[in-house]
Structure 1
Amino acid sequence: ATDPDAGVNGQVRYRLVNHANLFRVNSNGTISTAVPLDREVRGQYDLIVEAEDGAVEDPRRTTLTLSVTVLDVDDNSPVFSQLSYTVNLPENSPKKTAKDADLDSNITFRIRTPEAKQLFDVNPVTGELSVLQTLDFETLAASDHTYTFMVEAHSGGSMPPGMATVTVKITDMNDYSPVFSQALYRGMVAPNAVKGTVVTTVQAEDLDPP
C-alpha cells in the first residue's frame, strides 16, 4: 500500500485482522505462514489485511481481503474403509463376478499376494474384486475352500500404500440331484406277508457333500 502524505503521515504499517496465529505480515507487506498448514484440515483462508498510516492523532486505515489457497501434497497413505473384507462366493459363479468395491478416483487398487492373482482380479480404478475362473466346491481340496490374500491401494505419490486383507469363502451349492444306483428295481412278496415285510431296498447317491 502507498500513502501520498508526506513525513510520518505517509508511513504505512500493516497488520492481519484475522488468522494472525497462522500467518504474519512484515513491515514491507510480505505475508508468510507462521505455522505449517494442513490441506486436509482446511484448504482456503480469507485474510483481512489492514494498512494504517503513521498519523499520531487520527491515523487512517484501509483493508483488503486476500484469499489464500493451501495446495495439497501427498502426505497421507490411502486408508481402506475396512481393515479386512470377508466375501462368501457361491461355487460355479460366473467369471468376473464383482464382490466388493472401495471407490476413490485418485487411488489405484491391486492384489498384493502373487498366488491370488491366478484366481482373482481387482479393478484398479473401482476396487471391484472378481473371480477369474469357475470354482467348483466339490473338486477343490478342503484347504482351497477359503482364500485369504492382501490388497493394496496406491495414491500415486511417495507415501506407502494402504493395505487390507480379503478372505473369500467358496460356499457349496445344491447343484446335483440324487441318482439311483440302478434304473429298475424288482421285489417279491408273498400274498400273506405280514405288515412290515421287506420287499426290496432302493439306493440313491447325491454328489453334493453332506
Structure 2
Amino acid sequence: MLISYQVIFVFFFPDMNVRGIGVAGEMFGLLFFVLMAHTAYGDVSYSFPEEMKRGFVIGNIAKDLGLDVNRLSSRKARIDTEGNRKRYCDINLNTGELIVAERIDREEISGKKASCVIKNEFVLENPLELHHFILNIEDINDNSPQFKESVIKFEIRESAGKGSSYLLEEAYDADIGRNAVQSYTLQNNEHFILNVLTRANGRKYGQLVLNKELDREEQTEVTLILTAVDGGTPPRSGTVAIHVTVLDANDNAPVFSQAVYKVRLPENSPLDTLVVTVSATDADEGQNGEVTYAFGHLPQKVQQLFFIDLVSGEIKLTGLIDYEIESTFELPIQAKDGQGLASYSTVLIDVIDVNDNAPITILKSLTSPVPENALPGTEFGIINVQDRDSENNGRVRCSIQQNVPFKLVPSLTIMTHT
C-alpha cells in the first residue's frame, strides 16, 4: 500500500502586526480551501478497456475539472504518477484531453485482481493546483485458456467401477470475470463423461467420470480431447489431450493432511527459507501408495519464487518477495500416486510487511525567488512525501529547520496562521 502526503511551503513574517495577520489569514484561508478541494483521490475517474492504442482519447480532464484549456500551456500542466509506475497517459495541452501514452496490459499491472486502478496526479502552476485522478482499466478477452501440460495421463485399472471419478487439471486464463474460463467440454466417447464443478472462489474445474467399465482385452488405451472455453465475445478456448492407459486393478488417491495450508512469511525472508511442508498419504501399497508432489499452474513470475520438493513436499523460497509488489500468494499443490491418481490442496501465503522503505520526497513545484514583500501564507512550493510501506511503517513525519521564515503545512490538515 502506498501512503502519500502532500506538503506545502508557505512564507510568513513572525513579527507582522495583528491586523496584518488577520488579513493574511483570511486570504490564506480562501487559498487553502481552493487547494484542498483538489487533493483527494477521486476528483475525476475514467474507465476504459486495456490494450487501447497510443493516442486513444481517455477523456477531457480540463473540461471535467472546469479549467481554461487556453491556459494549460502557460500553467505548465503535466501528468505525474505515483511511485515507480510508468506514465500510462499524457495530456494534449491544446485540447485538454487525456490520451494513452503507453500500452496498458491489465494482467501485467494487476494480475487476477477484480479491479485495476492506476492513480495519477494532474499538476498546474501559476497558481499552484494539484488534482488526483484515477484510471480504471477494464478487462478485455485477450487471453485464451491454457493447460499446464499438453497431455493429462491416467492409468486406470479395468476393475474400476462405473461412476469412478478422476480429477482433471484446471485450465488457467489470465483474464477475469466473464472473460475467464466458464465451461469445459469433452470429446464424445463411449467410456467417459465430464462433470464440471465450481470451487468456492468461482473457478471451474472438471472431473472425468467413468460411465462404462473398461476392458483391457478389448482396448488398452483411450485418448480424449478436453476443451476449456471462456465467456468472452467472441469466446476463446484451449485444449488438452487426455491419455488413459487401461491396467489389469489403484483404489485410493492421495489425501492431503489439510485442504488449505495458511502461512505468514516476512517479506525480507532469505533465500532457501522453508515456507511450509505439505503432506499427503495414500492407503494403497507399493507403487500405488508412493506419493509425489508438484505445483499446479503458476504464473511464470511466481514459479521463480518458490520450489517444491518432489518427494518430501517441502516448499522453499527461491526468490525475493516484496510486500509492496505482491502481498499474497496462492499456490495450488498436486499429490499424485504411482498410477496417476491425484488430489489437490492449496497453500495461501500472506506476506508480512517490514519497514524496508525509507520515505522519499519529490519537489512537485517551486516558485523562486520569493519577493521580499510576500504576504504571510503565500505558498511557493509543493513537496510530495511518500513511503511505500504499510500502516505504521508507512507513516511519515515532516519537519523543517528552525529560525527560518517558512513553515511546512500538511495538506491533509486545516492550516492556521502563525
What TM-score, normalized by structure 2, do the two folds share?
A: 0.26
Identify the structure with the greater strand proportion.
Answer: 2
Which fold has the larger relative contact order, with Cα–Cα distance below 8 Å and residues 6 or more apart in sequence?
A: 2
